Amino acid sequence: MAERDRTGPDTKLPARQGLPAWSNTQSPKRNPGLPGAGSGFPPTAQRLLEAARRLLARSGYGSLSVEAIGREAGENKALIRYYFGSKNGLIVALVDWLISETLWQARRRHAGRSAKQSSSETVVESSEALLGDPSSYRLFFDLLPRILENPPMAEQFAELYRAYRDQNVRTLWVDAPDDAPVEVFDIATLTVAIADGLAVQILAEPGSVDVTHALATWRSFIDHTLASLPDRPADGP
């Protein structure tokens, strides 16, 4: 089989007008609103993201020009627009991708947890896994202020955070997540905030926080709160 043309996209189907190629039906495994869905990016898009990560780690945010990313990836810079809509779209995808592998593993744990594993344990384990990857969090926080300064990027970023919260709700109230009590949504929100807050403290002073103990305390609070709620669903898969 002839080697694929590295200057063209992985598929000859055009992206839908105004949308990046990662959001159309060519890439059914990847949903930008579903963090941790697995590595479903086409190979060229994956190379562009890997190149952007290397540049960010090596030279900081200022190095992330479309020209530099394309050159680092060995790809035509026009493919950034094809796959991600724009440089901004690539940066939002990069934020998701930085922790997507960890979150994908978390989703697998959520789906496959045993009857002996409580929902609170599953949620807390996911947070602990995220906190075990400080290099990705460091890059994440490098990108964060730039994203929040740009309203379209901030809107896309907010969609990712909604998906993180929804994932926790679906684990904590598995039978009817859309009808979960407000306390469950609060727990889901605070779980995300706690993970981010602990990450900042770890980056500022490595070793200053006993993550396992802190998350065990949070898990106890989750269990206490869930136990007090009426119509609590069965705590099993």
Domain extents in the chain: 21-98, 101-227
What pLDDT is recorded for position 31?
38
Confidence of residue 108 (pLDDT cuts 50, 70, 90): low
d(CA 142, CA 135): 11
Task: Evaluate whether 21-98 and 101-227 have a shared fold.
Answer: yes
Q: What phi and psi values does residue 186 have, to the nearest 5 degrees?
A: -65, -45
pLDDT tens, 18-27?
Answer: 444 444 433 3
**pLDDT band of 104, cuts 50, 70, 90:** low
- Kindly indicate the confidence band of residue 7, based on its pLDDT and cuts at 50, 70 and 90: very low
Crossing angle for the helix pair 119-131 and 100-112, to the nearest 10 degrees: 160
Average pLDDT over residues 126-149: 85
Task: Please state which of the ranges 21-30, 97-106, 212-221 shows the lowest mean pLDDT.
Answer: 21-30
Three-state SS for 3?
A: coil
- Percentage of the chain modeled with pLDDT above 90: 35
Residues 168, 219: Cα–Cα separation, whole Å: 13
Which amino acid is it at 218?
W
Q: Which CATH superfamily is domain 21-98 in?
A: Tetracycline Repressor, domain 2 (1.10.357.10)
Between the alpha carbon of residue 16 and those of residues 21, 57, 84, 88, the distances in Å are 7, 32, 12, 18
Residue 103 is predicted with a pLDDT of 63
Name the architecture of domain 101-227.
Orthogonal Bundle (1.10)
Q: Do the beta carbons of residue 157 and residue 92 sit within 8 Å? A: yes
Quick one: pLDDT band at residue 226, thresholds 50, 70, 90?
very high
Q: For residue 136, give Cα distances in angstroms to 54, 171, 181.
A: 11, 24, 33
- Residue 190: pLDDT band by 50, 70, 90 thresholds? very high
> Where is pLDDT greater, at 40 or 122?
122
Q: Supply the DSSP string of 62-129, one letter for each residue.
A: GG--HHHHHHHHTS-THHHHHHHSSHHHHHHHHHHHHTHHHHHHHHHHHHH--TTS-HHHHHHHHHHH
